[in-house]
Amino acid sequence: MQYSTSETIPAPNIHSCAETLLAVAPALMQFLRLGMRGRRRPEVSVPQFRVLVHACMRPGATLRQLAEPLGVSTATASRMVETLVLRGLLARRPGETDRRQVAIALTPAGQQVLDMAHVHMRALFESRLTGLDAPALATLAAALDLLHTVFDIERRPWPAPVAASGHALPEYSLPENDPPAHDHEERS
């Protein structure tokens, strides 16, 4: 189905925009959850993926610095990090300025798992966006840029995923028999 922005769109107001954001946020999270669950070999759960993303965005972060954007307590972040440390995806090291504090960093294995999950989810999002025409994609891109500004989200280009061999990872494409996750599917 082709979606277009040429349809008549009612004049927006702050209330309707806020309501739309409230409706879209859980749907996007559900799409991420289903997409992560739908992988053939799920290396990480969505919460673990979020920890890896924040560790990637904030190299050397402390537990408290990771807990805050995740919306969890330091104790919960500690348990999540410990699980990922035991799996070899994160490493702990003494802080640079205060050796009593522990800095969290991605390991090469953690970076690879994060990169593969990112490539997989990007492919799922791309599969959903293929029905948009060029003007609709331009409108969406402008709206997403605006959200970055409104919510003061730091723009970080995702580094090109690199395999342990040092070569770029292959582009991920969805297998023919794996339909993209839809937000109306049942939770497991």
Alpha helices in 58-107 (DSSP H): 63-70, 74-86
Residue 179 has pLDDT above 50, yes or no: no
What is the pLDDT at residue 22? 93
What is the pLDDT at residue 97? 77
- Domain extents in the chain: 33-150
- C-alpha distances (whole Å) from 18 to each of 5, 30, 148 are 20, 19, 15
Q: CA gyration radius for the chain? A: 19
Quick one: CATH architecture of 33-150?
Answer: Orthogonal Bundle (1.10)
CB 43 within 8 A of CB 54: no
What is the pLDDT at residue 185? 38
Beta strands in the chain (DSSP E): 90-94, 102-106
- Of the pLDDT bands very low, low, confident and very high (cuts 50, 70, 90), residue 133 is very high
135-146 confidence digits (pLDDT tens): 999 999 999 888
Helix (H) or strand (E) holding 27: helix 14-37
